[in-house]
Amino acid sequence: MKGGFAAAMHGVKLCREKDLRVGLRTTLTQFNFPQLPDLLDLMREYDVQKYYLSHLNYSGRGKRNHGVDAHRNMTRQAMTQIFERAWEDVQNGIDTDFVSGNNDADGVLLLQWITANMPEHREQMERMLRAWGGNASGAGIANIDNLGLVHPDTYWWQETVGNVREQRFADIWLNKPDPLLVELRQHPRPIKGRCGECQWLSICNGNTRTRAWAGGDMWAEDPGCYLTDAEIGLPQPELIQAMPVN
């Protein structure tokens, strides 16, 4: 909508004048990646307390944009910018929250960043990430849509596990959970490919299953992981030795 940006920022300003906590939220693509520093600055300019970066997910609306998923390097750079900004705010006593969603490999990247920048906190961070347990679709996250249909999370509208207009949520979720929920609640999940061999599986829990499912297999490795084989502890291929030239 023409004028949409100005209208949205006016809304932010009015909320802040009434001292309401406000968040900015964007889905990362290769097109808006260059704007991330400006968005983080906008947050300061308007005294916004929360920033949420959503990685693109290949399901629902995300599927149409599959071809424009941010380049893996860009994703890493975006996350690093967010870690740095969050730490800057902590040091300056600014009360902000930075949240990322739809890519549980972010936890592993954060652990690497902490290791490189403040190794004294690494142990605690790893403990907290393990306690968090990574992707929680169908376990710690539920989605109830506008018709009352219950899904394992926002990106799972293709699968329904009950309807709150017909059953109590406690029955759908806890007392008689659908087999899909039971499967998703395994920890760590029985995931194939590089996720299955990854040393961080119990921190990440195999990341986002709908992205794997978009490729045809719910238990396949997550194609949205941006970590290298070395970073996830896979053996490295041996270097080919050059033959001596006579």
What residue type is 36 in one-letter code?
A: L
Work out how close the CB of 233 gets to ligand SF4 at its nearest, in angstroms, rounded to a whole number: 9
For position 109 contacting ligand SF4 by CB under 6 A, the verdict is no
* Binds ligand SF4 by CB under 6 A, chosen from 15, 194, 219, 223: 194
For position 195 contacting ligand SF4 by CB under 6 A, the verdict is yes
For position 206 contacting ligand SF4 by CB under 6 A, the verdict is yes
The CA-to-CA distance between both ends of the chain, in Å, stands at 70
Work out how close the CB of 223 gets to ligand SF4 at its nearest, in angstroms, rounded to a whole number: 9
Gap between the Cα atoms of 152 and 181, Å rounded: 7
- Residue entry with tokens 């978009």: 214
For position 214 contacting ligand SF4 by CB under 6 A, the verdict is no
Stretch that binds ligand SF4, among 142-150, 168-176, 210-218, 224-232 (CB under 6 A): 224-232
Work out how close the CB of 227 gets to ligand SF4 at its nearest, in angstroms, rounded to a whole number: 5
Nearer to ligand SF4, 24 or 189 (CB): 189
Gap between the Cα atoms of 206 and 223, Å rounded: 10
Which residues between 226 and 245 bind ligand SF4 (CB under 6 A)? 227, 232
For position 111 contacting ligand SF4 by CB under 6 A, the verdict is no
Question: With contact defined as beta carbons under 8 Å apart, do 111 and 126 qualify?
Answer: yes
- Residue entry with tokens 């009434």: 18
Which of 114, 31, 34 has the alpha carbon at shortest distance from 77? 34
For position 222 contacting ligand SF4 by CB under 6 A, the verdict is yes
Gap between the Cα atoms of 206 and 191, Å rounded: 7
For position 204 contacting ligand SF4 by CB under 6 A, the verdict is yes
Question: With contact defined as beta carbons under 8 Å apart, do 110 and 83 qualify?
Answer: yes
Q: How many residues belong to the site for ligand SF4 (CB under 6 A)?
A: 16
